[in-house]
Structure 1
């Protein structure tokens, strides 16, 4: 059984009642999807999950993998021996319904109600969630929309969800050129090139040894090299050359994605594959697991997103298709929230509210007067502590960027109760408005002037880096000539996306660790972007200790100094801090074991943000030169470590 939607521009065929996409006919091509795959493996939604105490067999797929940093890491067992079973299931329907059918719009629904009697059956182990998958096609529109409503009812079992996404696998004979942004576009390898290549330190990274296109020989292909932050993940896709057709994933809003605007995730990669990522543990790890307790109800709308198709004569080149996709993306963003989805679970603009105000910063050791929070990220998310938005996964989030004066307006907010959060580039820490904000249909919440007081005890004695939640400003080395992705060889902005940069630390510091001298060293050149282990041999790695040398003319007796240490990323790491005594048995401070974001291995330049405020009694310091020893003590693999965002030493409080 099939359902066919056709508006005269394109035609899509959907399996009935399962709801997966089997064919897209457009531009004279019978099917843009990969016909070598089974129908269920062309255009589909899937979820990766597990349940407490599970030890059976998944109804769809069971995968065993070495667990590193997240259930999706799939690292080689030579690094980690913890075996994890997780479930990857397709969100399929069991019944079909035509929701809307007019001359201008068709909307169809594929639903599946969870059967509690099948729970833990040897034959049917399904994610306990009701599924309503929708497709919308509009007249005179070169594409189609898709969204899904997932719902849990009271009394259902506890589960952990690690990934929710939509996947489109295109015809490998047609689509060879991938575009993610203006400066990230290229002809890509073929799937068979990866199959015949040399696997590297983790399975996603492959050295192309005999590719179909000889120009790609010697390059590294890794899907994580094409990740981007959700705030920038609005349009990406593929172009075929004959005929010249573009296939684009357009996501006009981040409101249904997890963990805020700077959460990183996958886009398109070799397949050719195009993804719409809604939730994952990528670049964040266990901390962003969507965990449901026993009996916890929940409902969320994911999407709609827009699959856009365009074409152009060869004389105009690929650039015309990319420009057309960007233009369409702008139109979709302006149209959000859409007015045409029929589900009552997707509120129209009249049923939403907005909030506005101005954010100012008070840091008396930088300026006595209030400063505008220029370019601050300001958003509404589920109530919680300051910074909790970056691990919030079950609700909706609404973010905007403040103007140069700190002014902001957040539009299109769904009805609900939220906290307002913010963080300001150039300042450490997180802001949270003290009162909860209730949004009702049509509400306009005037917040007025809000004041953020970033953590501060005393004047800055010295600082390393820029407080922007990334390690971008630090030294990113050139990649090994044996492991290069040519897309990034002339890109300072994307230099960190090259494979194997963690290995360069041991090459640059073969015997002694990094030493940074305040007032002499330059963090752009002398501070390695990631504090990693040092390889001894194939299976052995050593912990590393970095030195910060700084002078003090005098030390105020019985006074308290403060060290601020902001981390941009942490992967199964522990940072130990010692002042002037590298052999101190018990460190003056330690983070304990932290982080599973895996940003080092996945070329991420940041993961989750962490801020540590360390009290430094004056007896730890001395007049003259002092040394802080930063030891990353965990050393089981090449990928363990941290990325620093910013380090500052403050003097004792002063009267101003």
Structure 2
């Protein structure tokens, strides 16, 4: 532990938390992250932006009956500030916005509590939020919610989101008229006169850096100049994300911007927009996520910061669910339950014996039909993969009623348990052997690819050379 305890400084318009490693500044009572001082850099966030456009929670919402995925964009600003925990080991602060009927039509009918946590000696900070809709409130649709950080464009130029997906990025100026040419949709811009000439002819499009929830655990930016600094978004748990493990979301993109997307309709459409009716009570905790900061000593390889960020991600995953968030709405491990068992496949056209479901994704999601987890977007989901013998263990499940769902690589269709599973605090449920019978009309005559919910066996050709992202030319995934 660092000998320096965490200190909280409350001013009229700002709150600053200092643990000797970083200083986190938030607007009071808005709860917008206006400054992050780290490693002798006065602010990692874009100082040219207004304070409300640096680090913030936001959402997109619409009135009941609204079709599609559009809505009102809202940077969530608190109206009340409260200290939740204050001691030398931890400071947790809360910025709340409480809804009442006078705001109907102007603000989403939700009580929102944004929390920020700084721990002693920790090179980063945590954030989570609690959204609540009361029974007697009007309905609404919630198309998107996330936390976003806008970093300094004069410092952060290198983005990393996977071992094979990282590069020096264009500047936001390169997307402006004159330097960039708009293409078929606003997010895609052809760089015709970029600041860095070697980027000329490339297309910048934030959707090129999307990632499955199951793989999107760490991403961010590196300042490669001295002193080299990394800014990383680490998402150690997926229970609060909608659409299951193969749902894709945005990560980092030109800005430089880094995101943790909790709920969105990207690539899915209106099916993944939760619609709440009048009289429907709902509460959900999004996060916590960890904003991790690291640096390289002078002379060290700045790209080693990516390797360090991956190691930190593993540490955070192993610590999930965290013990330190003070909200009763975030249950600790001993307040949750576990489920174990084995999944087997019975397919008489393949084998007379039951086959262990090797590498199957199996998870708990709210009760529904087979495959309904893909459209589930209101509550929590908990997923894992089976081992080579089909055994699985799902730990730290929130208390609720669930169905057990699965899909097995190499077999079409979706599995769903016939019996609902009720998780209570401290429960351990052994479901035994589960048998999945894939749908069949007869033996397989021929097939293209493997039914595993990916395009891994299909050749992905290089794009039109007039519209390329050099990162994906001759990319290793294209030859699979």
TM-score, normalised via structure 2 length: 0.95
Matched with 2:58 is 46
For 1:317, what is the secondary structure of its paired residue?
Answer: coil
CA drift of 1:494 comes to 5.3
SS in 2 for 1:417: strand
The alignment partner of 1:329 has SS state of: helix
C-alpha contact (below 8 Å) 2:230/2:295 kept by paired residues: yes
Q: What pairs with 1:572-591 in structure 2 (closer than 5 Å)?
A: none
Q: 1:32 corresponds to which residue?
A: 44
After superposition, residues 294-309 of structure 1 pair within 5 angstroms as 294-309=278-293
1:118 deviates by 2.4
Matched position secondary structure for 1:364: coil
Q: Select which of 259, 269, 273 maps to 1:289.
A: 273
Give the structure 2 partner of residue 203 of structure 1: 186
Matches within 5 A, 1:65-80: 71=69
SS of equivalent residue, structure 2 residue 477: coil
Partner of 1:222: 205
- Aligned partners of 1:134 and 1:147 also within 8 Å: yes
Residue 460 of structure 1 aligns to a residue in which SS?
A: coil
Number of the residue aligned with 2:117: 136
Q: Say if 2:140 is the partner of 1:155.
A: no
Aligned partner of 1:601 in structure 2 is none
Q: CA deviation at 1:314?
A: 4.1
Tell me what 1:347 maps to: 331
**Bigger CA drift: 193-202 or 400-409?**
193-202
Who is 2:73 aligned against? 88
CA distance in 2, matches of 1:361, 1:52: 42
- Residues 132, 150 of structure 1: 8 Å contact kept: yes
Once residues 117 and 49 of structure 1 are traced to their aligned partners in structure 2, the CA distance between those partners, rounded to angstroms, is 17
Q: CA RMSD in A?
A: 1.3
Distance 2:383 2:469 in 1: 33
Match of 2:92 in 1: 107
| The 10-residue stretch of structure 1 (338-347 or 306-315) with the greater mean CA deviation from structure 2 | 306-315
Contact 2:222–2:303 (CA under 8 A) maintained in structure 1 = no
Once the two structures are TM-superposed, the CA of residue 215 in structure 1 deviates from its matched residue by: 1.3
Say which of 157, 164, 167 aligns to 1:183.
164
- C-alpha displacement at 1:179, in angstroms? 0.5
Partner of 2:6: none
Question: For residues 606-641 of structure 1, what are the alpha-carbon distances to aligned partners after superposition, in whole Å with 9 as ceiling and x for unaligned?
Answer: xxxxxxxxxxxxxxxxxxxxxxxxxxxxxxxxxxxx
Equivalent residue of 1:178, what SS? Answer: strand
Runs of 4+ in structure 1 off by over 3 angstroms are: none
1:145 to 2:126 alignment: yes
Query: Among 262, 275, 278, which residue is 1:278 paired with?
Result: 262
Cα distance in 2 for residues equivalent to 1:201 and 1:423: 36
Given candidates 377, 388, 405, the residue that maps to 1:393 is 377
CA contact (8 A) 1:174 1:242 kept: no
Equivalences for residues 223-262 of structure 1 within 5 A = 223-240=206-223, 241-262=225-246
CA shift for structure 1 position 464: 2.8
Q: State the partner residue of 2:3.
A: none
How far is the alpha carbon of 1:105 from its aligned partner? 0.3
> 1:369 Cα deviation (Å)?
0.7
Q: How does 1:489-508 map to 2 (within 5 A)?
A: 489-493=473-477
Greater Rg, structure 1 or structure 2? 1
**Separation in 1, partners of 2:432, 2:274:** 34
Q: In structure 1, what is the Cα distance between the partners aligned to 2:276 and 2:31? A: 26
Counterpart contact for 2:415–2:436, Cα < 8 Å: yes
Q: CA deviation at 1:53?
A: 6.1
Partner of 1:128, secondary structure, is coil
3-state DSSP class of the match of 1:175?
A: coil
Who is 1:537 aligned against? none
Does the alignment pair 1:97 with 2:109? no
Whether the 8 Å CA contact 1:189–1:216 is kept in 2: the answer is yes
SS at match of 1:462: coil
Q: Give the alignment of 1:275-424 within 5 angstroms.
A: 275-424=259-408
Q: Which runs of 5+ in 1 are unaligned?
A: 55-66, 73-85, 496-523, 525-656
Contact 2:461–2:478 (CA under 8 A) maintained in structure 1: no
- Are the equivalent residues in 1 in contact too, given 2:459–2:478 (CA < 8 A)? no
**C-alpha separation in 1, matches of 2:281 and 2:17:** 34
Q: CA deviation at 1:71?
A: 2.7
Distance 1:448 1:215 in 2: 58
Contact 1:357 1:449 in 2 (8 A): yes
- Provide the C-alpha distance between the structure 2 equivalents of 1:141 and 1:394, rounded to a whole number of angstroms: 32
Post-superposition shift, 1:458?
1.5
TM-score normalised by structure 1 residue count: 0.70
